[in-house]
Structure formats: C-alpha cells, structure tokens
C-alpha cells in the first residue's frame, strides 16, 4: 500500500466514523462513547513534551510522515487540505517504491519538534510541573466523572471569548514549519498565535487556573461543515456537554454545532475514543 492509498484509507475511516457521529448526535445532551482509538498524532506529540496536559503517558506508535500529518492536521483556518499539501511539496522528499511497505500502524505519531531559541516550549524528556491550585470541588456525574454546575457557564463564556480574542489565528506550518504541532499558543513579540487546538489548550489552561477541575474538560476532534478537521474543548456540565470553540464566541451544546464528531479524549486520561 503506498502513501497515497494510506491517506485515502485514513480519510475513509474518518468519514465513516463522522457520519455515524452526526447521525447519533440528534439532541442528546451528553456524548456517547464509542471504541477506543489512537489519539491524534499532534496530541501524542504534545504528551511526550508536556505531562501537565496528559499525565502519565506511554506512546504506542512510531513517527508519522509529513504527508500523513498534513492529512490529519486540525488547522481549521479555512485552508483546504490540497493547499496545505501543496505548501508541503518542497519540504517532503520524493516518494519511492520502498514506501509500499508502509502500514497504518507506522503513521500515528509525530517526532518531537524542538524549535531553536524558543523559550515557550519544552524539549522532549523535560516535564513541566503541574501547578498547584485551589480547585473548587466539581459536581460528580453518575459514572463518577466530574461536571460543571450551571452557575459556572458565565466563567466558561468569559474565558472562551477572552481566548478567542487574545489569540491570533496562524497555522502550524507558518509558526513551526510543520503541518501539525499541538501546543499552547506561541508568544511572539508579546502577542499570542495559534490554530484551533492551541485555542482549546489555552482555554483548558485558563479554566484550570480559575479553579475548574481538569476532569471536566476534554479535547475533541471534529469535521466542520466545510470539511476541515478541527479541534475543540468540551466542558462537561451536569446538564450536558458544552463545546468551547474558536469559531464561535458562545459555548454551545455539542449536538447543536452541526459538526461530524470523529473522536474525543476520555476525561482525566490520555485515552481517546470515537463518539458513539
């Protein structure tokens, strides 16, 4: 199987999962869990660099190729996938027949990137300590997971809008020369830059700093109505799952966004599942 076929296969799987996710969304307040799947490659790379986002994490896959990373990127900046691929054309070595032996298990994670002279990132092997904070006891769901109370919607809305305002949209390719790199927004000359997953991670950071339990916050990957892969933050309220999105200032119930849901993180872990 060559790289082109591998990418097509990956998109086919995402499409099938997505159609099921859209069909099952309806008006349910809570997302149903599906099967355990590999985490997004960008998330896997993030966990190798920053334990604060993932806790204990053991990678199970090897490095992804630039082409596959481009195919699975969650930029959602309005740039179509063919354009992203074209931008990578000069950076990716020519494909030879030797790649026919490539398997899907060999293209699931990203080699650690260590930008030069960038003080806002941690190299592989260096763990960022988890900040201690006075965390308000969350509401507990029937399954034992944490949830936010209705009164915390004001805080959620405030932080969602603040991050959407503070972070300027910029692709990973522009910021790091890579098709995919999950991180907190990059600070350049005092200004914050990033794409969708960077917005989501910054919202998660600020909410935890404000006293929200990390167990009530999970990351998710969707496909937007325009066909782009997109990352969002999901906040679990006692009345249902609400999405914090850089494409809208208003926290929105997950089933009302019209997204195709691909996969979601399991609260408090580095495990991901499909959305049932």
* pLDDT tens sequence across 68-114: 455 556 666 644 444 444 444 454 444 444 444 434 334 343 444 44
Q: Which two tokens stand for residue 227?
A: 């066909």
Q: What's residue 145's pLDDT?
A: 55
pTM check: above 0.95: no
Q: What's residue 196's pLDDT?
A: 97
Write b or e for each residue in 87-121: b if 16 or more Cβ atoms lie within 10 A of its Cβ, otherwise e.
ebeeeeeeeeeeeeebeeeebbbbbebebeeeeeb
Number of structural domains in the chain: 1
Vertex 227: Cα angle to 264 and 101 (nearest 5): 75
Tokens 């494909």 sit at which residue? 95
Quick check: 6 and 68 in contact, CB under 8 A? Answer: yes
Residue 207, SS3?
helix
- Average model confidence (pLDDT) across the chain: 74
Write b or e for each residue in 177-196: b if 16 or more Cβ atoms lie within 10 A of its Cβ, otherwise e.
ebbbbbbbbbeeeeebbbbb
Owning domain of residue 9: 3-275
Q: What's residue 60's pLDDT?
A: 54
Q: Who contacts 205 (Cβ-Cβ below 8 Å, separation ≥6)?
A: 184
CA-to-CA separations, 123 to 127, 129, 244, 271, in angstroms, rounded: 9, 14, 29, 23
Q: How many other CB atoms are there within 10 angstroms of residue 69's CB atom?
A: 23
pLDDT beneath 50, residues of the chain: 1-3, 5-24, 62-63, 67-68, 78-89, 91-119, 121, 123-144
Q: What's residue 133's pLDDT?
A: 37
Instruction: Give the chain's length.
Output: 276
Backbone angles phi, psi at 243, to 5 degrees: -105, 130
């Amino acid at each position: 199987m060559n790289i082109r076929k591998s990418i097509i296969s990956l998109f086919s799987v995402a499409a099938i999962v997505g159609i099921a996710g859209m069909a099952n969304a309806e008006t349910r307040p809570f997302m149903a869990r599906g099967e355990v799947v590999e985490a997004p490659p960008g998330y896997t790379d993030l966990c190798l660099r920053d334990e604060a986002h993932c806790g204990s994490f053991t990678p199970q896959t090897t490095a992804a190729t630039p082409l596959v990373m481009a195919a699975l990127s969650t930029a959602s900046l309005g740039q179509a996938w063919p354009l992203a691929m074209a931008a990578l054309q000069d950076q990716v070595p020519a494909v030879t027949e030797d790649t026919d032996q490539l398997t899907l298990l060999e293209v699931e994670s990203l080699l650690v990137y260590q930008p030069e002279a960038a003080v806002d990132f941690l190299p592989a092997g260096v763990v960022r300590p988890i900040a201690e904070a006075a965390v308000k006891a969350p509401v507990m769901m029937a399954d034992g997971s944490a949830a936010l109370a209705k009164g915390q919607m004001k805080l959620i809305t405030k932080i969602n809008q603040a991050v959407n305002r503070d972070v300027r949209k910029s692709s990973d390719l522009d910021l790091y020369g890579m098709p995919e790199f999950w991180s907190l927004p990059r600070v350049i000359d005092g200004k914050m830059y990033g794409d969708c997953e960077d917005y989501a991670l910054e919202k998660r950071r600020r909410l935890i700093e404000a006293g929200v339990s990390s167990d009530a916050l999970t990351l998710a990957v969707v496909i937007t109505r325009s066909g782009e892969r997109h990352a969002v933050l999901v906040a679990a309220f006692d009345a249902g799952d609400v999405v914090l999105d850089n494409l809208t200032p208003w926290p929105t119930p997950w089933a009302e966004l019209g997204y195709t849901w691909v996969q979601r993180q399991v609260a408090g872990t580095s495990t991901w599942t499909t959305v049932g």
